[in-house]
Amino acid sequence: MIKSLDEEKDNMRNVLIIGSGGREHSIALKLAESRQVKKMFAIPGNFGISKLAECCNIDIMNNSALVDFAKEKQVDLVVVGPEVPLANGVIDEFEKNGISAFGPNKKAAQFEASKSFTRKFIKKHGLPGIDFEEFTSFENAKNYIEKKGAPIVVKADGLAAGKGVFVARTEEEAITFARECLEENKFGKSSSKIIIEDFLEGEEVSYLVFTDSKTYKPMVYSQDHKQIYEGDKGPNTGGMGAYSPARLLEGFEDFLDKEIMSKFLAGIKEEGIEYKGVLYVGLMITKDGPKILEFNCRFGDPETQVILPRLENDLVEVMDAVIHQDLNSVKLEWKKEYCVCVVLSSKGYPNSYEKGKVINGLDDVKDVQVIHAGTKEENGRVLTNGGRVLNIIGLGKTLKEALDKTYSQIEDISFEGMYYRHDIAAKGLGK
């Protein structure tokens, strides 16, 4: 039945987005397409988001202040982007106050907040995992590394903005990172415990799904590029680019359903965990099939930037279905186009970097999405305000077309110390 204009107006919503990165700008752009959205707010937002939403500078870890803001602005839907406020229980607080919010509650957010929790869950419920041990003692960790040898993977147990995973090629590298975590508090409380895992040979791919705890709907496949340097070298970052579709998971649909998602949903039911939101499954495609590297409890960044532009559905309707556990009624529709994201970062990222550099050329960019990740406006100028500054998003009928479009537009943008990888999606082209 076609709704009247009056009925549509009655259904229009005030929406609050929590977060300040490229992921949140991408979410804002998709929500802005919805006929159900009346007004958007963002806390704290960024310069790009400010073109779509009223941005307010409130501490995203202050749950009571966030709830008070949502009440004051008569917010009907809250969308939480980053993992930290989710792990802090912000969804629980919104729900207690009768405010509809998209994202997993604090208990469910443990899947990202604690790698130890996730590894134990995977092992207990028979999902395809990796051998691991956890340590709080540096000496014990050192002895284990020397016993196992290298290459080996060392992870801070808690949240570390995507930088808490270290793939050590030598025992010395692994021991150094373990010491930094356990004795030098590299990531604060997040590295008071570490996980040491077997190293897997293969290629990483991102598998994201919407789930309402009872069922799930997969998103289109994507592949992130985590290392700072070309050829997947150097330290991990939050992500230097992504593309979709990534063909690596084609043919594994039954495996993903039976061995991962069916077991995950059965496992959370047994554990008494209600998980409503996005589940991000980081996978390594090995010679023995897909193995789970990590779970994240939110949209990926920059995977979101190549997934949402391909989504045909109204994102508000999808989120409502998740919140009200009616996801089974939704059929996700996707554009056939390829999508590429290239991250422009500050010099020095993922380590120390300078802010406040003037960004030039944004008005000259055409035929791509410019997603703001770490920007601010000052005296009429757009300045850098983060490690990952901008995401340039291109769509095309082929992967090469999407890539060419994206990289050609990057040439018009500049800021002091701007850095980006030139090999995003090269694997997708078979290079």
Half-sphere exposure of 223 (CA within 13 A, CB side): 24
- And the tokens for 64? 């009571």
d(CA 182, CA 192): 5
pLDDT band at 427, cuts 50/70/90?
A: confident
pLDDT band at 1, cuts 50/70/90?
A: very low
The identity of residue 154, as a single letter, is: V
- Measured N-to-C along each axis, helices 138-148 and 171-182 cross at an angle, to the nearest 10 degrees, of 160
The identity of residue 348, as a single letter, is: G
Mean pLDDT of 297-311: 97
pLDDT tens, residue by residue, 259-277: 999 999 999 999 999 999 9
- Given the structure tokens 């050329």, which residue do they identify? 361
Q: What is the pLDDT of residue 10?
A: 56
- Given the structure tokens 């991408």, which residue do they identify? 26
Kindly report the number of other CB atoms within 10 A of residue 376's CB atom: 18
d(CA 117, CA 111): 6
338-429 CATH: 3.90.600.10
pLDDT band at 145, cuts 50/70/90?
A: very high
d(CA 168, CA 298): 27
pLDDT tens, residue by residue, 73-97: 999 999 999 999 999 999 999 999 9
Bridge partners (DSSP) of residue 166 are 154
Domain limits, the chain:
13-105, 131-198, 203-329, 338-429
DSSP reduced 3-state for 392: strand
Q: What is the DSSP letter of 91?
A: H
pLDDT tens, residue by residue, 376-405: 999 999 999 999 999 999 999 999 999 999
DSSP track, 276-332: -EEEEEEEEEETTEEEEEEEESS--TTHHHHHGGGB-S-HHHHHHHHHTT-GGG---
Mean pLDDT of 47-53: 97
Q: What is the pLDDT of residue 181?
A: 96
Kindly report the number of other CB atoms within 10 A of residue 180's CB atom: 18
Residue 319, pLDDT above cutoff 70: yes
CATH fold for the domain made of 131-198: Dna Ligase; domain 1 (3.30.1490)
- And the tokens for 384? 């850098």
Q: What is the pLDDT of residue 67?
A: 98
- And the tokens for 215? 């069922």
d(CA 429, CA 431): 6
As a whole-number percent, the residues of the chain with pLDDT over 90 amount to: 92
Q: What is the pLDDT of residue 163?
A: 81
Strands 13-19 and 37-44: parallel
Q: Which of 244, 252, 258, 130 is nearest to 196 (CA)?
A: 130
| Longest pairwise C-alpha distance within the chain | 70
Half-sphere exposure of 255 (CA within 13 A, CB side): 13
CA distances from 209 to 200, 214, 218, 248, 379 (A): 24, 13, 4, 16, 41
Mean pLDDT of 349-371: 95
Q: Which of 114, 118, 113 is nearest to 129 (CA)?
A: 118
CA distances from 238 to 174, 299, 388 (A): 20, 13, 8
203-329 CATH: 3.30.470.20
Q: Which of 281, 304, 296, 298 is nearest to 393 (CA)?
A: 304
pLDDT tens, residue by residue, 62-75: 999 999 999 999 99
Average pLDDT value over all residues in the chain: 95
13-105 CATH: 3.40.50.20
DSSP reduced 3-state for 171: helix
The identity of residue 221, as a single letter, is: Y
Half-sphere exposure of 396 (CA within 13 A, CB side): 16
d(CA 161, CA 84): 9
pLDDT band at 162, cuts 50/70/90?
A: confident
d(CA 157, CA 190): 6
Which residues, 6+ apart, have CB-to-CB distance to 188 below 8 Å? none
Radius of gyration of the chain from its Cα atoms, rounded to whole angstroms: 21
Kindly report the number of other CB atoms within 10 A of residue 270's CB atom: 10
Residue 4, pLDDT above cutoff 50: no
CA distances from 390 to 81, 304, 371 (A): 17, 14, 6
d(CA 262, CA 271): 14
Q: Which of 79, 287, 317 is nearest to 202 (CA)?
A: 287
- And the tokens for 233? 């070298």
- And the tokens for 264? 């995950």
pLDDT tens, residue by residue, 193-245: 999 999 999 999 999 999 999 999 999 999 999 999 999 999 889 999 999 99
